[in-house]
Amino acid sequence: MSDTSTQPKKSSAAPIEEIESAVIRFAGDSGDGIQLTGSQFTTATAFAGNDLATFPDYPAEIRAPIGTVAGVSGFQIQFSSHEVLTPGDAPDVLVAMNPAALKANGKDVKPGGVLIVNKDAFTPANLQKAGYEKDPLEDGSLSAWRVIPVELTRLTRGAVEDLGLTPAQSERCKNFFALGVMYWLYDRPLEATSRWIEGKFKKNPVFVEANTKALHAGHVYAESAELFGHHYRVRKAPITPGVYRNITGNEAAALGFVAASSASGLTLWYGSYPITPASDVLHELAKCKSFGVKTFQAEDEIAAIGSSIGASFAGMLAVTGTSGPGVALKTEAIGLAVMTELPLVILNVQRGGPSTGMPTKTEQSDLLQAVYGRNGDCPVPVLAAATPGDCFAMAYEACRLAVKYMTPVMLLTDGYLANGSEPWLVPDAAKLAKFGKPALLPLSEYKPYTRDPQTLARPWATPGAKGYEHRLGGLEKQDVTGTVSYDGENHDRMVRLRAEKVEKMAQDIPPTEVLGARKGKVLLVGWGGTYGSITAAVQNLQKRGAPVSAVHLRHLNPLPPDLGEILKGFDHVLVPELNMGQLIKVLRAKYLVPAAGFNKIKGQSFKVFEIEAAVDALLKGGKN
Amino acid sequence: MDRDHDELQTLPGSGPMLQAKDFKSDQMVRWCPGCGDFAILSAVQKVMPTLGIPKEKIVFVSGIGCSSRFPYYMNTFGFHSIHGRALTVATGVKCANPDLQVWVVTGDGDGLSIGGNHLLHALRRNVDVKVLLFNNRIYGLTKGQYSPTSELGKKTKSSPMGTIDVPLNPIAVALASEAGFVARAVDTDLAFLGEILTRAAKHKGSAFIEILQNCVVFNDGAWDPVASKDVRDDRMVRVAHGKPLIFGKNKEKGVRLNGLEPEVVTFDPAAPPRDLLMHDEKAPSATLATFLSRMGDPVAQGIFRAVERPTLHELMDGQIEQAKAAAPDLQKLLKGPETWTVAA
């Protein structure tokens, strides 16, 4: 193979095979540009008209020791001519930039799948760092897969050798060479990436040339070296017509907040403290100053929410974003927002817990914290987004409900949604539903805690409103007047009023959609980022004729008013969750249903087949 | 300041004449009889009408502790937040609506212990709020535990054999946090406290005032060794901009530098020596102010530092104005850097 780059055997027209879908994964050192490579492949795939879903998997360490398994970064994409709901269970193709990447990811690849490896990186030193005793390319241990070794480093250097780059600079282009290989394999267009390279390196024309050359060289190499025998085409998916972009959950949440600000006429405040995996929301919003958005990187999580409560008191649309450990720190202040009945959105981009846990891995283990985790009887509405794009809709909805009901609202997303991406039908900004601060009662009727009979919301009289001077605080409030009260009867009334107000929000929840029949053997009830896996599994089961339906909850507190009736229509309720069983506790407590849990706590979302298997087991075991 | 002087003040423009009583809320003041907080409340209510700010544009924010009940007694907008977090809430209020004048009332426990971090950061950011730190060197509301300003070895309920923590110096902390306006006053000296409050209100940016305050129940006589009537002239020196440090019942004492240490000299009041230390509250560096904050005998009061610089809300709004040069386009934002069209 050593001479193939310089002497292609022929300009082969390798046959093209039509396939429905494919799952590929790029993996390498966290400094290898893997996320960039993945996002470029995603763009090219979107341009090719496929439906897709992606998921990055990166280490917590910014630059873990080079060449070690701990330092491996990955990016997976599933694309198809049909609807895509998840980034895929197992890759068909893995691109491994070094032995550690192979070690960390090889076992995930489907048997018979393809391993494209950077042969140049399989040096004794790198093998040792990755923990290989023998070279896996030579010891037969990879016989379950088709291994395609490519001298990525040498070939890339060769492609850019006339540009006068240092060896290190040349080598840095190898991810584009690998991308070129994959573009050929899946018949993707090169133009979008070429344009991106031109924009990215416009200050350094030599890098534009080098990366472009590497990309094209990889493409030509894949074709002329006849690495694969044939290549693949995935036809366009039947997608709702319109203008699309690729979007991650964190980007979508940030845009949802800006859109809510625009639709309500309330200026956005975002108080936050950097935390994985929520920081990107802060980064996105910090770029939105032209919309009047005020971002405040606070000294800690408590200051982040404290400033947001202050901004809300003064009349802004206030949001504070964090992850689970940050919510733990904000807990007392959330109670303050409940007591003062001020609108506030708390975004929790969940990650593996407890404590610092697994910052870069996904989990759904903060539901009970969101619903119950405060001192006192302290009800907070809880929403959860189902897909990356849904983070936009739910961020918007959280803002709308917070203002309408004058309450803090918790919005749950997770690391899987936050960093995963999907094509997103760009909404028409002019058609966003308007909402806003209700008109203030005339002074003669105003008291700080008079309530709207429909929503039980109290008035939002902000400093500057003459005659409306009042004092708020965390001490119990006298009903109506809002002055401090330690009266037992009043406290009983106020605790119940606050709970009733949150329950009233159920009137804003749309009817629950059931995937499949409304009566049957098994109902899967999911929430949050597992939507894709559960839906794909249920669709597969239904194709096989299984009497299975699914409901996916986006409102966790209050629950949809029609949920109880739906649950009654099934013999079994199965609740898949990426935790020890949290929604299931809420469902059992509220509906007294003998629900069963299916739980995974491995820092990854469900594989579709895992859910199918769990349902199959229930159907077999559940027959009376 | 004349005690009744402020009652005669009118607002600039055509607004109604406000008086101290207009700033009193309908709530019964619930501090212990004899508490130093009454005097401070009274001083603040007297200063308010002199500032020419309508009361709906004034916000008092507090944390938790005896002092933090303060907002309930002011007929302005008010926010009694949670322990230590007043400055975080105040930061949001001020940045949300820079038109408001925002005051924070806190104590030595609330502001320097549980809320210490927020104090540092609000001051360094120059959040335009006026911080009144009531320092009585004790936890009063929890009934008598030592605080971060309690003197070393102090015996309290939680330190029956004496404290083993070195106390913080609030003025030094504020100066180290890059505060632009730093002052100290005593609760019993209403006229001087009023002057300091007025100066703080007019300062653009963070203003920090440590008010030495007595707790009659749990730390009575907290400041008697330096601030009681019989010793205060000899134990405290009022620093004034451009003036030498002179004190004593007959103005017969002064402070001068001896190397890097202060030295008290006694002289004929008619002919003070020329080498006395001169105060300069406008000094760009906080070195002199820090030196004064560290003096133990005499203890300095007055304005240690009054230097203005851009405030947080000015800088924040400035960036927003700059960004708005590119007209906001929500549709463009939603589209992001790259889109593709799926045809019908």
Q: What is the pLDDT of residue A57?
A: 82
Give A426→chain B minimum CA distance, Å: 6
**pLDDT at residue B71, rounded to an integer:** 97
pLDDT-derived band of residue B1, with 50, 70 and 90 as boundaries? very low
- Whether B273 is covered by a domain: the verdict is no
Asked whether the predicted pLDDT for residue A64 surpasses 90, the reply is: no
Count of A–B CB contacts within 8 Å? 209
Please report which confidence band the pLDDT of residue A61 belongs to, taking 50, 70 and 90 as the band edges: confident
Burial of A619: CB neighbours in 10 Å, binned 0-12, 13-18, 19+: middle
Which pLDDT belongs to residue B9? 43
Query: Do residues A484 and A476 touch, judged by C-beta distance below 8 A?
Result: yes
Q: According to the model, what pLDDT value does residue A227 have?
A: 84
Average pLDDT for B255-264: 96
∠ CA A387-A389-A394 to the nearest 5 degrees?
80
The helix-helix angle for A608-621 and A531-543 (nearest 10°) equals: 50
**What integer best gives the mean pLDDT of chain A?**
94
Asked if A486 is an interface residue toward chain B (Cβ–Cβ < 8 A), one would say no
pLDDT band of residue B177 (cuts 50, 70, 90) is: very high
For the domain with range A16-234, which CATH number is right: 3.30.930.10, 3.30.1330.20, 1.10.630.10, 3.40.920.10?
3.40.920.10
Mean pLDDT of B275-281: 98
Residue B7 has pLDDT above 60, yes or no: no
- CA nearest to A293, candidates B316, B336, B128, B334: B316
For domain A246-431, give the fold. Answer: Rossmann fold (3.40.50)
- Inform me whether the pLDDT recorded for A211 exceeds 60: yes
Q: How far is A236 from chain B (nearest CA, A)?
A: 10
A16-234 and A246-431 in the same fold? no
Residue B122 lies in a domain: yes
Residue B32 lies in a domain: yes
Q: How would DSSP label each residue in A200-265? A: HTTT-HHHHHHHHHHHHHHHHHHHHTTSSSSEEEEPPP---SEEEEEEEHHHHHHHHHHHHHHHHT
The residue extents of the domains of chain A are: 16-234, 246-431, 514-621
* Peptide bond between residue B284 and the one before it cis (omega within 30 degrees of 0): no
A376 at B interface, C-beta within 8 A: no
The confidence score (pLDDT) of residue B13 equals 46
Percent with pLDDT over 70 in chain B: 95
Condensed to tens digits (0 to 9), the pLDDT of residues A418-442 reads: 999 999 999 999 999 999 998 999 9
Asked if residue A173 lies in contact with residue A214, where contact means CB atoms within 8 angstroms, the answer is: yes
Tell whether A427 lies on the interface with B, counting CB pairs under 8 A.
Answer: yes
Q: What are phi and psi of A26, to 5 degrees?
A: -100, 140
Contact by Cβ (8 Å): B340, A244: yes
Residue A6 has pLDDT above 60, yes or no: no
pLDDT digits (tens, 9 = 90+) for A515-557: 999 999 999 999 999 999 999 999 999 999 999 999 999 999 9
How confident is the model at residue B5, as a pLDDT?
A: 43
**Using CB atoms and an 8 Å cut-off, which of residues 320-339 of chain A contact chain B?**
332-333, 335-336
Asked whether the predicted pLDDT for residue A8 surpasses 50, the reply is no
User: Using 50, 70 and 90 to split pLDDT, how confident is the model at B339?
Assistant: very high
CATH number at residue B21: 3.40.50.970
- How many separate domains does chain B show? 1
Question: CATH 3.30.70.60: does it fit domain A514-621?
Answer: no
Q: Which of residues 182-221 of A touch B (CB under 8 A)?
A: 192
pLDDT number for residue A65: 85
Whether residues B97 and A315 touch (CB distance < 8 A) is answered with: yes
Contact with chain B for residue A431, Cβ under 8 A: no
Provide the domain limits for residue B19.
5-222+310-323
User: What is the least distance, in Å, from the CA of A464 to any CA of chain B?
Assistant: 5
Tell me what pLDDT residue B334 has: 98
Question: How close B129 comes to chain A (CA, Å)?
Answer: 13
CB-CB neighbors (< 8 A) of A40 in chain B: none
Decide if A429 and B330 are in contact by the 8 Å CB cutoff: yes
Query: Closest by alpha carbon to B58, among B109, B101, B4, B113?
Result: B101
Least confident of A599-608, B6-15, B25-34, B261-270: B6-15
Q: What is the mean pLDDT of residues A336-359?
A: 97
> The sheet that has A294-297: what strands, in order across it?
A294-297, A268-272, A317-322, A344-350, A408-414, A382-384, A555-557
B-chain CB neighbours of A430 within 8 Å are 331
Segment 545-604 of chain A within 8 Å of chain B by CB: none
- pLDDT greater at residue A317 or residue A61: A317
State the average pLDDT over residues A561-586.
98
Q: Which residue has the tokens 């416009």?
A: A202
CA dihedral over A314, A317, A322, A326, signed as positive or negative: positive
pLDDT digits (tens, 9 = 90+) for A274-308: 999 999 999 999 999 999 999 999 999 999 999 99
Q: Are strands B129-135 and B207-212 parallel, antiparallel or unpaired?
A: parallel
A311: nearest CA in chain B? B92
DSSP notation for A492-529: HHHHHHHHHHHHHGGGGSPPPPEES-SSEEEEEEEEGG
Contacts of B67 in chain A (CB under 8 A): none
User: From the CA of A388, how many Å to the nearest CA of chain B?
Assistant: 14
What is the C-alpha separation between A343 and A345, in angstroms, rounded? 7
Q: pLDDT confidence of A93, banded at 50, 70, 90? A: very high
- Would B288 be classed as within a structural domain? no
- Whether A466 sits inside 8 A of B333 (CB atoms) is no
Would you say residue B15 has pLDDT above 80?
no
- Mean pLDDT for A572-599 is 97
- Kindly determine whether residue A483 and residue B82, on different chains, have CB atoms separated by under 8 Å: no
Q: Residue A136 is encoded by which pair of tokens?
A: 């896996």
Decide if B80 is inside a domain. yes
Question: Residue A156 pLDDT > 90, yes or no?
Answer: yes
**What is the rounded distance in angstroms from the CA atom of residue A202 to the CA atom of residue A461?**
51
- ipTM, two decimals, is 0.95
Q: What is the pLDDT of residue A381?
A: 98
| pLDDT bucket at A137, cuts 50 / 70 / 90 | very high
Q: Where residue A464 falls among pLDDT bands split at 50, 70, 90? A: very high
Does residue A196 surpass a pLDDT of 90?
yes
